[in-house]
Amino acid sequence: MGEQARTVLVTGGNRGIGRSIAEAFIAAGDNVAITSRSGDAPDGALALAADVTDSDSIDKAFAQIEEKFGPVEVVVANAGINKDTLLMRMSEDDFTDVIDTNLTGAFRVMKRAARGMIKLKRGRVVLISSVVGLYGSPGQVNYAASKSGLIGMARSLTRELGSRGVTANVVAPGFIESDMTAELPEKQQKTYLDSIPAGRFGTPDDVAATVRWLASDDAAYISGAVIPVDGGLGMGH
Give the active site residues.
143
Q: Does the annotation place 15 within a ligand binding site? A: yes
Give the bridge partners for 123, in sequence order. 166
Interface contacts to ligand NDP, rule CB under 6 A: 11-12, 14-18, 35-38, 51-53, 78-81, 101, 128, 130, 173, 175-176, 178-181
Minimum CB separation of residue 11 from ligand NDP in Å reads 6
Minimum CB separation of residue 66 from ligand NDP in Å reads 19
Q: What span, in angstroms and rounded, lies between the C-alpha atoms of 171 and 174?
A: 10
Q: Is 225 exposed, middle or buried (0-12, 13-18, 19+ CB in 10 A)?
A: middle
Nearer to ligand NDP, 101 or 158 (CB): 101
Minimum CB separation of residue 70 from ligand NDP in Å reads 23
Q: Does the annotation place 78 within a ligand binding site? A: yes
Minimum CB separation of residue 27 from ligand NDP in Å reads 18
The letter for the amino acid at 215 is A
Q: What span, in angstroms and rounded, lies between the C-alpha atoms of 182 and 192?
A: 13
Q: Does the annotation place 192 within a ligand binding site? A: no
Nearer to ligand NDP, 12 or 42 (CB): 12
Nearer to ligand NDP, 29 or 39 (CB): 39
Q: Does the annotation place 13 within a ligand binding site? A: yes
Q: Does the annotation place 82 within a ligand binding site? A: no
